[in-house]
Amino acid sequence: MSDVSGLKFPSELKYTPTHEWARIEGDVAIVGITSFATHHLTDIVYLEAPIVGEKALQFKELAPEGAVESVKASTPIYSPFSGKILEINEDLVNSPEKLNADAYVNWIYKMKIENKAELSKLLDAAAYKTHCEHEEH
């Protein structure tokens, strides 16, 4: 089993099994990808941000846009909630390598949370860390 102890799992965030994090501020979620994801992707070279105004569905890909590309792979970004995309982090689109430096400071997009009950389907930090440990097998 790989050691995930060197990775961060901030306790104030909620997590998806597909390695996105969400910081909840009222009815807005600030969303990014986790340090587990950036650790596995390694050198991130491109970010395709979702489109402002588009509707996202919980645990579904932000298609057709919404992907992170590294020198190793391209992976879609999934939504932690259902709702509308409010804002994207243009600075990160222009400098996606910032995700490698700190995945939790560098958010990707903000969205309006349509249904707060969906929060119960997300993982807390301890459950997400356990999920990552099992995924390393």
SS3 43: coil
**The predicted structure's pLDDT at residue 3:** 64
10 Å CB burial of residue 65 (0-12, 13-18, 19+) is: middle
Question: Which pair of tokens denotes residue 103?
Answer: 């995945």
Write out residues in the chain with pLDDT < 50, as ranges.
Answer: 1-2
Tokens 């099994």, located at residue: 17
The pTM of the full predicted model, rounded to 2 decimals, is 0.93
For the chain, which residues make up each domain, given as ranges?
14-119
Residue 61 is encoded by which pair of tokens? Answer: 């890909």
How far apart CA 113 and CA 133 sit, in angstroms, is 29
DSSP secondary structure code for residue 118 in this structure: G
- Torsion angle in degrees (nearest 10) through CA of 11, 49, 115, 38: -20
Query: Is 14-119 assigned to CATH 3.40.50.1380?
Result: no
Task: Say if residues 88 and 109 touch (Cβ distance below 8 Å).
Answer: yes
Please give the pLDDT value at position 1.
36
SS3 for 131?
A: helix
